[in-house]
Structure 1
């Protein structure tokens, strides 16, 4: 279930985007599941509907959600979504920045791998099987 941390430095819409992706990762949301309307989600999370709308638009542009006019917004099947090479390049750049920063702080490769495994376990232990 998505929660918003009002004290986080991360923007609310970014928290909602990550929260929905995390719910999909945990299996709380399955491909084809309908998610609440913008107004319903805004009411549930005590957020501005414009913020929820922005998050939904980001998720649609990332092929995580699909909106069917007159029916609602649904979780898109992963196999149905095209591979987004531009986002993958951005992710690689972020990883590169992380590795450089870790090296600067004398965090070795094994410790980074341990962090990834810890995080994976905290998300339910699902392996990255894509």
Structure 2
């Protein structure tokens, strides 16, 4: 389910954060679903439990998961107020990346097709 590139320059905890976010966004992991324990995930991925803990803390800080003492970590629900702030932040990032892509020669049509493909993919996943 989670594959990490141990040779990558990207820190392992950041890779883990990105992979878990991707699984949540794609609907593979549903709201309120329990995540693997730090110990079991560390054994499965053969990495230090502190690395898993750091990734879980970051995901919790960003609002993707929540922890219940003695019970574990769970996927968070999307909250309207928090969602709006995240949308604003990601929109600024999107504008910056889009400007750079256009500057480098990517066509408007290619960008629109990419968005439409992502939207279609997201819709198909929600239907399953």
Structure 2: gaps spanning 5 or more residues: none
Aligned residues: 124
Contact 1:64–1:81 (Cα < 8 Å) also in 2: no
- TM-score scaled by length of structure 2: 0.80
| Number of the residue aligned with 2:37 | 37
Q: Secondary structure at the match of 2:63?
A: coil
| Number of the residue aligned with 2:122 | 126
Matches of 2:90 and 2:82 in 1, distance apart?
16
Q: Which structure has greater helix proportion?
A: 2
Structure 1: gaps spanning 5 or more residues: none
- TM-score scaled by length of structure 1: 0.79
| CA shift in 2, pair 1:112/1:22, >3 Å | same
RMSD: 2.4
Matches of 1:98 and 1:50 in 2, distance apart?
33
Q: How does 1:1-130 map to 2 (within 5 A)?
A: 1-79=1-79, 82-83=82-83, 85=85, 87-119=86-118, 125-127=121-123
Q: Secondary structure at the match of 1:77?
A: coil
Q: Residue 88 of structure 1: CA displacement?
A: 3.4
| CA shift in 2, pair 1:19/1:81, >3 Å | farther
| CA shift in 2, pair 1:84/1:4, >3 Å | farther
